[in-house]
Structure 1
Amino acid sequence: MSERLDAWPELDHAELAPMVDYVNRIVQVAGKYTLDDPFEAGWGNIVLDVTPRGLGTPTFRHQDVTFTVHYRLLDGDVVIETDRDERRVPLPGESVASFYRAFCEAAAELGIHRPRTSLICEIPGAPATFEDDRAERTWDPHAARLMWRAENLAAGGLESWQAPFLGHRPRVGVMWGGFDLSATRHRAQPTTPPRNAPTFMQNAQLNAYVSVGFSFKNLPDRPSIGMYAYIWPQPDGLEGRSWGVEGATWNADAGLVLLPWEALRETKDPHQAIVAFGDAVYQAAVETAGWPADLVGPRVDGWYASRTPASTLQQLRG
C-alpha cells in the first residue's frame, strides 16, 4: 500500500497552484506555433507531449527551419532545438513577460519567427498578453517535479485506455490553453456548437467526442485535482450511473464526471483505475448517446513481442 501511494504522490492544490498558474502561461508561448499546423478534429494537433523531463511540442516544419520546444520542468529551463542548433532559456526568477522576451530572442537566433499572437487564453483574470504579464514568479523545483509525476502517471493510464479505440483518437497530451491532460475519442457525427462559445470551442465541437483527462483545476469554483470526463453533446441519463471506480461521481453543475486524485491514488491499481474510469464513461456514451460499441477493439498485450523469439512468432502465424 505505502509503495503504491509513494508512486502516486499526494497532491496539495495550495502548494501547486502558483506553479500550475505559471507553467500554464509559459507553455502557451510555444503552444501558439501549433495554431499554424494542420487542424485536427478537437484540436488534436495542438497537444504537448508528456516527456521524460517535462512537456514538449510536436515537431514544427516552418519554411527553412524544423524545430521543437521542450519545457523541461525537471531542469527549470526551456530548450528550443532545430536541425542546426539549439538554445536554452532559463525559467527561475522570471516574469512571464521577461520569459517571453528571452524566448523570442533565442528563437530569432535560430531563424524562428516569434509566435504570431501573444494573447494569454483560457486563464480567467490573466493579463491580455505575455508582454503585459510582469508579475515576478518563483520557480519551485519540488512543485515542478510533482506536476510532472502526476501528468506522467495519468498519461500512462490514459494511453492504455485509448489503445483499443478504432476511431479517430489524437495522441494523449496537454491542451496548453486550459492546461488539462486530455484523451479524446471522436466519431463522425456533426454537432452544433453553442453560438456564443469562443472560436476554439466552436472548432472543438464540430463533431461528437468523448473526453477523459487529468487536470490540476477540475472545478473553477473550488480547489480540485484529479481525473475528469465528459461526453459532447451531453446526453440525458448520466445521473445515478456507476463510473467504474469508487469515488468517481457525476457533477451536474459542471457537466463533468470527476474522480478526485486522492480517491484514485487509494485504489488497488491507480493505472487500471484510470482505464476502468474511461471505459465506464465510454459505456455511458454507448448507452445514452448511441456511440458504437464496436469502435473499441480487444485489449491485447501484443505477446510482449520484444521478448518473444522469432521462431515462436512464426509458429503463431503458421
Structure 2
Amino acid sequence: MTMKHIAGPNDWPRLPLLEGWQDTCTTLNMWAQVVGKIRLTLSPDINHSWGSTLYVTTHGLTTSPIPYGMFTFAIDFDFISHALCITTSQGNDRSFALEPMSVANFYRKTMQALAELGIEVRIFTRPVEVEVAIPFEKDEQHASYDANAASLFWHALVQTDCVFKEFRARFTGKVSPVHFFWGGIDLAVTRFSGRTAPKHPGGFPNVADRITQEAYSHEVSSAGFWPGTGVGEAAFYSYAYPSPPGFSDYPVQPEAAYFHDKLGEFILPYEAVRTAANPSQTLLSFLQTTYEAAATLAHWDRSALEREIASA
C-alpha cells in the first residue's frame, strides 16, 4: 500500500503544552462555535451533525459554501493573515482582523459583517460541550488571541488532515469526511460498521441528549486530534461506540499509545508523532491498530468494508 502523504519530522510543528495557550484555545473554541452555529442554522440537517462542521484549508478553517437564498457564502478563519473572511458567490466580501478581542466583540463583528452582505441569521448563542456556557453576546471573559499558537495548531491540523484522509481512503463502508468539530475543537474521521448501536446515554455538557443519540445511532470506530483537554497536551484519540469487551487491552501501536481509563479511549501524544522518524506512518499505525481493535473485537465484516490502495 502506497502512502501518498509523506511528511518529514520538520513538517510537524512543535506545539506548546495546553496550559501555555489555554486562554487562546478557549477563545478560539468560542469563536469557532459562533461560526459553526451559523453554518448549522442555515445548512441542511445532515446526519450526525455533519452539516455543521468546518474543514481544514490552505490558510485555516472554512465552513465551505453555505446556502442563502439565491447565493452562497463561506466564512473562513485565515491563520496566515490572521483574519476572519466572509465571501459570497455574488463577489462580495467582508473581513476583520483576528486579534485579542472578547467573544462578545467577535460575535458582534461577525453578525455585522453578515448583515452588510445582506445575510440575516439568528443563532442559539449558548455554547456547547463546555461546563460554563456564557452566551456569546455576553462573553467578555474569553478574549485572548496568541497568533503564533493559533498558527502552530492550524499547521498541525494541516498535517493531520492529510494523514486522516489517507486513512479514510482505505474504507469502502460508510465513513465521515475528515472534519473539524467546533464543539470539542477536534479534527475527526469516523468509520461505521453498518449496524445500529445501543441508545447512547448522552450526558455531554450543554448538549441535548437527542443530538448525541443521533450522532451515535450506529456502531462506530472514531479517531481524532485535539488540543488535549483532559490530558494536558495535544494528542490523537481513538474510541469505539459501543466499546467491545477487551477493547482497552487490545495491543495497539506505536509504543507511546495508551488507553486512558477516564476518557475511555486510546491516546497518542502529538509529540510522539512529531518526533518520530516517520510521523505520518507513526500516526497511521495508531489509526489502523485502534480501528482493528474495534473492528476485530466487535466482529465487523472487514472484508466487505476495507480495501487496498493501489500503488501510484
Q: Scaled by the length of structure 2, what TM-score is found?
A: 0.89
* Aligned residue-pair number: 297
Partner of 1:8: 12
Distance 1:200 1:89, change over 3 A: farther
CA distance in 1, matches of 2:144, 2:248: 43
SS in 1 for 2:193: strand
Matched ranges for 1:239-278 at <5 A: 239-278=248-287
Deviation of 1:100 (Å):
0.5
Deviation of 1:179 (Å):
0.7
Distance 1:271 1:73, change over 3 A: same
Name the aligned partner's letter for residue 38 of structure 1.
Answer: P
Q: Of the candidates 94, 101, 125, which is equivalent to residue 94 of structure 1?
A: 101
Partner of 2:194: 188
| Kept in 2: contact 1:30–1:115 (CA 8 A) | no
What value does the CA root-mean-square deviation take over the aligned residues? 1.8
Partner of 2:24: 19
Distance 1:223 1:287, change over 3 A: same
CA distance in 2, matches of 1:104, 1:263: 41
Name the aligned partner's letter for residue 282 of structure 1.
Answer: Y
Matched ranges for 1:134-153 at <5 A: 134-135=140-141, 137-153=143-159
Tell me, which stretches of 5 or more residues in structure 2 are unaligned? 1-6, 204-208
Q: Of the candidates 93, 100, 117, which is equivalent to residue 110 of structure 1?
A: 117
Distance 1:254 1:71, change over 3 A: same
Name the aligned partner's letter for residue 218 of structure 2.
Answer: N
Deviation of 1:15 (Å):
2.2
Distance 1:52 1:232, change over 3 A: same
| Kept in 1: contact 2:82–2:98 (CA 8 A) | yes
CA distance in 2, matches of 1:61, 1:23: 25
**Bigger Rg over Cα:** 1
2:215 matches 1:204 = yes
Query: Over residues 21-54 of structure 1, what are the superposed CA-to-partner deviations in whole Å (9 max), with x where a residue is unaligned?
Result: 1111101112113324333343222221111111
| Kept in 1: contact 2:9–2:279 (CA 8 A) | no
Query: Over residues 143-175 of structure 1, what are the superposed CA-to-partner deviations in whole Å (9 max), with x where a residue is unaligned?
Result: 111111111111111111111210122210110
2:80 matches 1:69 = no
Q: Of the candidates 124, 130, 136, which is equivalent to residue 123 of structure 1?
A: 130
Query: Over residues 119-146 of structure 1, what are the superposed CA-to-partner deviations in whole Å (9 max), with x where a residue is unaligned?
Result: 211123241x101101262322211111
Tell me, which stretches of 5 or more residues in structure 1 are unaligned? 304-318
CA distance in 2, matches of 1:57, 1:117: 17
Percent identity of equivalent pairs: 28
Q: Structure 1 segments of 4 or more deviating over 6 A?
A: none
CA distance in 1, matches of 2:199, 2:249: 27
